[in-house]
Amino acid sequence: MIKKFIDKLLGKSPSAASKKPQFGKRVEVPATVHGIDPHLVDERAINVVRTLQQAGFEAYVVGGAVRDLLVGLRPKDFDVATNATPEQVKGLFRRAFIIGRRFRIVHVVYGRGREHEVIEVSTFRAYLDNAAAEQVAGNERTSKSELAGMKHAVDSTGRVLRDNVWGPQEEDAVRRDFTINAMYYDPETQIVVDYHNGLKDAKSRTLRMIGDAATRYREDPVRIIRAVRFAAKLSPLGFKLEAKTSGPLIKSQSLLNDVPQSRLFDEMLKLLQTGHALASVEQLKALGMARGIYPLLDVVVERAEQPFVAAALKDTDRRVGEGKPVAPSFLLACVLWADVRDGWAQRIRTGQHSHPALQDAIEDVFNARIGDVSGRGKLAGDMREIWLMQPRFEKRVGSTPFGMVEQPRFRAAFDFMRLRADAGEIDELLADWWQEFSMADDDLRQDMVDQVRTEQQQRKQAPKVHRAPAKDATATIAKPAAERDDAPEAEFAADTSDAPRKRRRRRRSGAAKGAGEGSGGAE
């Protein structure tokens, strides 16, 4: 009653007060209750926590790692939260790097090369709306860096713009999205700190947003995608979205229009590359959000039932489950292959030569589907190589096969070609030949190439049987060039029987021959 009277004097409406997240009551849960197996905690994460605590700071394993530990899983990644600032954290470790602008965090690196591991350390952050930001900014003890973080903390819609203001653990907890992600585990004392009944929700397999879900989605619209991702990831363990959490999702989806495209692109990749791509697609459909989150994601969902794309999504999930690396370039190349293939065939039908036709088709797809969000950097370059290498698999004579297996992107391009064979787009015998060739020694490889050359010569000497022309150019694209009587060795397999051809007399000098065959026969 007194609180309502004070709020009325200050001009605060009851509805506005009820929307503000409650900081919650700190509850310390002992090991006898939460049941976390300490052997599942990574030694490097324990070392980070111990180092910070010995320096006089608070430090805990936090977030998804605690959630996984509570359900008996060994987390793949460990994050640590502390009251030390990024600069203080960096000063305690030999290999530590401050990254990020909107969220400044520290990466503590252990090991080198592909075997290295990163422990991500974040500083407890304050919960800020604009009113709170103005109040803290008036404090004489507020540093310049904190003032910069507080300026325009929230826009007119309620979206959080800046978030580098340090605060107590209870406010850090309310900043987090789901109750099951807002728990803190101290591996030294084996105590779990819980502010929002996260332990209860973990045991009941409930995905619940902290505070009012619609308000939290306005604060950071990306939470909409995170809700879908966690629902997909945790559905095999029986987790379900609470009704009040899932209810505002569709109405809040329009908020994503104000999120930078680069951030949406990154969130889309998390949906597809965390080992639950197929489940994420199904979750989007079940929630009525199959379209409208991000244009490229719309294409993924639309094509997820096509055999080739479905195989790529399934293969990505399998590799993540086996702890193998996955590349976004490979999956996106699979999703957009139909556009490239059809554009390639269409250009050939108009009389364009195979190789420039393929290059132009690729450029059209980049402009239509990818845009500038990836910066046309490594991702686009890798996708281009995967696509451009496909017709080169048809050429299995000369030095081309030997050069192909030495290409940096050979394995990705081969896996792509194998999926095409599994989907019935090309002959499985071609994929089997390259599989054997890639694993053979030099002598066996030479024997395999000689055998292909002999078979080609025998086909040329055999009486020709006149066949009706293919109805669709894609049918000819799928047929190996070496098996077509009218295809010169130097041309891609995509040339169609009705497209104009120029047969060129090639010089057979050693240098010229090596250069031509080493480029895969592409003109």
| Catalytic residue annotation | 77, 79, 177
8 Å CB contact between 415 and 330: yes
Query: Comparing C-alpha atoms, which of 318, 346, 344 is closest to residue 331?
Result: 318
Angstrom distances, CA of residue 220 to CA of 39, 154, 176, 252, 273: 35, 10, 11, 11, 22
Using alpha carbons, list the distances in angstroms from residue 211 to 23, 28, 69, 157, 174. Answer: 9, 21, 24, 17, 8
Neighbours of 261 (CB within 10 A): 14
Q: Sort residue 342 into left (φ over 0), alpha (ψ -120 to 50) or beta.
A: alpha
Question: In angstroms, rounded to a whole number, what is the distance separating the alpha carbons of residues 386 and 363?
Answer: 14
**What letter would DSSP give residue 317?**
H
Half-sphere exposure in the Cβ direction for 80 (13 Å, CA): 32
Distances from the Cα of 499 to the Cαs of 167, 347, 348, 350, in angstroms? 69, 10, 7, 8
Q: Are 106 and 81 in contact (CB under 8 A)?
A: no
The DSSP letter of residue 235 is G
